[in-house]
Amino acid sequence: MQIMKVDPRALKENPNRMRQLKSSPQADALMLATIKAVGIVQPPVVAPEPDGGNGYIIDAGHRRVRLAIAAGLDEIEILVVDAANDNGAMRSMVENSVREALNPVDQWRGIERLVALGWTEEAIAVALALPVRQIRKLRLLANVLPAMLEQMAKGDMPSEQQLRTIAAASLEDQKEVWKAQKPKKGDTASWWAIANGLSKTRMYAKDASFGDDLSQAYGIAWVEDLFAPADEDSRYTTDVEAFLGAQQEWMTSNLPKKGAIVELNSWGQPQLPAKADRVYGKPGKGDLTAMYLDRDGKVQSFHFRMPEVKKPKGNAGSPDGVQGDEVIEVVSKPRPDVTQKGQDMIGDFRTDALHEALGRAPIEDDMLMALLVIAFAGLNVRVDTGAGGNVFGSARFKRHVVPLLDENGKVDIDMDRLRIAARSVLIDVLSCRRNASNSGVAARIAGDAIGADAFLPNMGTEGFLSCLSRQALEASAKETAVPPRQKVKETRAALVDHFKEERFVHGSALFAPATEELAELLKAGATPDEDADEASLGMDEDGADNDGSETGSVDDENEPASSGLGTGEDADDVVDDEHSTDDHYGIAAE
């Protein structure tokens, strides 16, 4: 080690220097004034060039050298040291760290350089007097998109929680979110919005009731959260469906003899069985246990009590004169074959297939008109009386009526135009989506009638199969040559690969409604007094008007042009009725 004087312009910068962030103009101006006044107080540290070079490479003091040149100094003192085995990496790291806290990005780059030179995380932590956990946290920056690192290197850093979320996301997801949230030049990044766009629901191992067997069966891979406190189990997974499926299966297997699995209501509270009372104190001998999953995916339980069954007086009700106690059986609900998300997907699949079938499939005219009537019996269709109220969607349906009118506003039936209009109305009205547009069983009947099952897409995809329970997934596998695997994830992957070349439609997605659904519709359609209903519409029991004329036999120019559409082949059969019920009813889809 020796001190010597050299021209600062002859010194070479170290390309691997620790601090790569430029200092502020204010700090540079202050140091420049100091150098001009008293010179350089502490000599820069340099080392001979490797491989026998004649020059010197700066180990520490790049800024001092640069400002000495700016001050016009011809010579400065330097401290020459022997070249280190790591090319001065640790020396530069320590020197910069004790002077001023490094930007985390520069600090991470230095750590990565030391690791590449063979330093362990523990050794780096000892040398820098930092916790090992802090070193590991900084190394998470290796998972951050380079464009984000550049923004962070400018001093625009996210919070620790936001950084954790960003580092846990894939580079592809980070790239998409950064593309949408990239700040303008000179602005700071909206790290909250970036982290929010990359956040995924986490289910923690500490909340899991199941063990390693179900974890492996459902293909759950735990990830360590390095930002969590060191004294707690911070493992988590973002595979929410698999986590909840394993929890549900564990509950089913560990349900007490007198127990039930209950669901949450819209307020996140467990839904008690009918007439049941929750027990808040010590449970009695006849009380039952309810188990449920809360909104965090944790298994919770409580006790409830069913009302006592009143015994009839006397000995009636039993052949031997002994009235036995009635056993209340509470049936637990296993995990449904298809999740709520899967049901939503089925609703979308059905609606798209139904609309495609209505637009393309061959439909006879009589069937088309029948479907039009059925469509307006859907759950998403309202008929408002003339006494008041809003008619939703009427403007939407008027566009289908216009092609059926001539230039004078008269009904001019052209069967081709009528067919197109009828199909368009059906497409607007009929829906299987699980929202306000759901037509209910009416859409299912219509889809089954026109063969819309043939238009359903291939459901053998990762997105849909992940919505199936383990039992439903294995049942689907039995219908193919794919044997069930030990892990649910492996079975699903095998089915996805199998159905790349074939089309798979889950049985629950088919249009044909169940018997009980049809029975409910027929029950709702039955009227206690058919004669009264016909009279209220101005018809007798034969379907004729009470004044003796048949419905639809008179054309009234004073009626609105859209007051009615007929179903006959000739224009004469499609007329407005002076007794038309459209004076009393407006039709629209919600």
What CATH code is carried by the domain that includes residue 134? Answer: 1.10.10.2830
Cα 177 from Cα 183, distance rounded (Å): 12
**Residue 130: how many CA atoms within 13 Å on its side-chain side?**
22
CA torsion sign for 384, 388, 389, 393 is positive
Q: Which of 229, 223, 231, 174 is nearest to 203 (CA)?
A: 223
Helices then strands, each counted (H, E), the chain: 22, 13
Nearest to 245 by CA among 280, 297, 284: 297
Name the region of 191 (left: φ>0; alpha: ψ -120 to 50; beta: rest): alpha
- Token duo for residue 279: 């027990």
Residue 531 within a domain: no
HSE at residue 291, side-chain half, CA atoms within 13 A, is 24
Distance (Å, whole) CA 383 – CA 389:
10
pLDDT in tens, the chain (590 residues): 677 888 888 787 777 666 666 777 777 787 787 787 667 877 888 887 776 667 778 777 788 888 888 888 888 888 777 765 555 566 666 555 545 556 778 878 888 888 888 888 888 877 676 788 778 878 878 888 989 988 888 878 888 778 878 887 888 889 988 988 899 888 889 898 898 888 777 888 999 999 988 888 888 989 887 667 777 888 888 888 889 889 988 998 888 888 888 888 777 788 888 888 888 888 888 888 999 988 888 999 999 988 876 665 555 444 444 444 444 455 555 667 888 888 888 889 989 998 988 888 888 887 887 788 777 767 777 655 444 444 445 555 556 666 666 777 775 667 787 788 788 888 888 889 888 788 888 889 999 999 999 999 999 898 899 888 888 888 888 888 888 888 888 888 889 988 888 889 998 899 998 888 888 777 766 555 444 444 333 444 444 444 444 433 334 433 333 333 333 333 334 333 333 333 333 333 33
Q: For residue 503, is it within any domain?
A: yes
H or E, element range at 198? helix 191-198
Note the Cα 205 to chain centre separation in Å: 21
Beta pairing, strands 45-48 & 277-279: unpaired
393 CB-contact burial (10 Å; exposed 0-12 / middle 13-18 / buried 19+): middle
Tokens 């509270």, located at residue: 269
The sheet carrying 277-279 orders its strands as: 259-261, 288-293, 299-305, 277-279
d(CA 567, CA 573): 8
The number of residues making up the chain comes to 590
Alpha-helical runs (H) found in 199-334: 212-217, 240-253
- Which tokens hold the place of 38? 């008293």
Question: Domain boundary at 482, 501, 517, which?
Answer: 517
Q: Is residue 541 part of a domain?
A: no
- What are 480's two structure tokens? 């193919």
Determine the Cα–Cα distance for residues 178 and 360; give it in Å rounded to an integer: 42
pTM: 0.40
pLDDT of amino acid 320: 45
| Contact assessment for residue 344 and residue 437, using Cβ atoms and an 8 Å cutoff | no
Among 483, 517, 551, where does a domain finish?
517
pLDDT for 396 equals 55
How far apart, in Å, are the Cα atoms of 495 and each of 215, 335, 471? 20, 21, 14
* Residues 368 and 419 sit within 8 Å (Cβ to Cβ): yes
Element (H, E) at 300: strand 299-305
Number of domains in the chain: 2
pLDDT score recorded for residue 392? 47
What are residue 3's DSSP bridge partners?
Answer: 79
Cα–Cα distance, 234 to 229 (Å, whole number): 8
Which residues does 26 contact at the CB level (< 8 Å), separation at least 6?
Answer: none
89, 85, 78, 84: which is closest to 56 by C-alpha? 78
Contact (CB, 8 A) for 451 and 357: yes
Could you say which of 137, 168, 199 is where a domain stops? 168
- Predicted confidence at residue 479, as pLDDT, reads 81
Domain of 453? 340-517
In a domain, 101, yes or no: yes
Which uninterrupted H or E stretch holds 237?
strand 235-237
Secondary structure of 358-427 in HEC code, one letter for each residue: HHHCCCCHHHHHHHHHHHCCCCCEEEEECCCCCCCCHHHHHHHHHHHECCCCCECCCHHHHHHHHHHHHH
In a domain, residue 460? The reply is yes
Distances 426 to 360, 399, 471 between C-alpha atoms, Å: 13, 13, 37
- Pull the structure tokens for residue 344: 């939503």
Are the beta carbons of 401 and 421 closer than 8 angstroms? yes
Q: Is 585 helix (H, G, I), strand (E, B) or coil?
A: strand
Question: Is the separation of the CB atoms in 303 and 279 below 8 Å?
Answer: yes
